[in-house]
Amino acid sequence: MLNLVLFGPPGAGKGTQSEKLIDKYKLVHLSTGDLLRSEIKAGTELGLRAKSLMDQGLLVPDEVVIGMIDNKLKENKEAAGFIFDGFPRTVKQAEALDTLLEENGTAISAMVALEVEAEELTRRLLERGKTSGRPDDQNEELIRKRVQEYNDKTLPVANYYQNQGKYSSIYGIGAIEAIFEKICTAIERATI
Ligand code: B4P
């Protein structure tokens, strides 16, 4: 099984590159951001709880996202592999993911981190906010809060995978196709 973690700050290109990776490696896409947004759209209790945090640029509680991932792994037992997009975002989530995968007799194959400077992240997200309708993409202060949450709570996840020898870093500014090629090379290197 090929199980990839795509890592990086908000706006680094995780969602964008995930679409191309799914196509190439035939993986099941698990984006906690997308899963949370569909709960919000469906008006569930979980969605309502998540919305108030997401609208402030804050992470939702670990138990919520871990539970969602657990359900999705159970629903996709026949998958050739998974791409985790926007998950794990805390060390607790990374540890939980390792346990869940172990229970299914598998493990993370590689983690690819996209590196993009803060000014470019703000520019991209404000641009996306013009058409996405996402409230968290429409306000510069909120975007800065999301990047701060990333620096405080998510960056340590890179060390977690570095310690397991699974971490690769890719510069995420440039043409989408050129970045995709670099990601594929990193995956192939990590999995031979
Ligand atoms: P996400 O949905 O994961 O949102 P994101 O990080 O903003 O998206 P992404 O990083 O995939 O966007 P992309 O770069 O592709 O999370 C939203 C919120 O949900 C979080 O703030 C949090 O509250 C909550 N949440 C989600 N997961 C959680 C978890 N595990 N734990 C707790 N809370 C969680 O795209 C950005 C833009 O850049 C696009 O418009 C794209 O076209 C553009 N772009 C991409 N690549 C480019 C390139 N090379 N050049 C120019 N533009 C590019």
Give me the average pLDDT of each 10-residue run along the chain (192 residues): 96 97 96 96 95 95 96 94 98 98 95 97 96 91 95 97 97 98 96 84
Q: Is 49 a catalytic residue?
A: no
Annotated catalytic residue, options 37, 49, 92, 128: 128
11 CA to middle of ligand 1, Å?
5
Give the long-range contacts of residues 40-43, CB within 8 A, separation 24 or more.
none
Burial class of residue 22 (count of CB atoms within 10 Å of its CB; 0-12, 13-18, 19+): middle
Question: What's 61's DSSP letter?
Answer: P
The count of other CB atoms within 10 Å of the CB of residue 122 is: 17
* Ligand 1 site-directed mutation target among 52, 124, 145, most atoms within 8 Å of CB: 124
13 CB near ligand 1 (under 6 Å): yes
59 CB near ligand 1 (under 6 Å): yes
**pLDDT score for 191:** 87
From CA 29, how far away is CA 21, in angstroms rounded?
A: 9
Residue range 55-107, pLDDT digits in tens: 999 999 999 999 999 999 999 999 999 999 999 999 999 999 999 999 989 99
**pLDDT score for 192:** 80
Residue nearest to atom 30 of ligand 1 (CA): 87
93 CB near ligand 1 (under 6 Å): yes
Give the long-range contacts of residues 175-183, CB within 8 A, separation 24 or more.
176/13, 176/16, 176/17, 176/20, 179/13, 179/17, 179/114, 180/17, 180/20, 180/21, 183/6, 183/17, 183/21, 183/112
As a whole number of Å, the end-to-end CA separation of the chain is 13
78 CA to middle of ligand 1, Å?
27
- Report CA-CA distances (Å) from 16 to 141, 176, 177: 23, 8, 10
Q: Is 123 a catalytic residue?
A: no
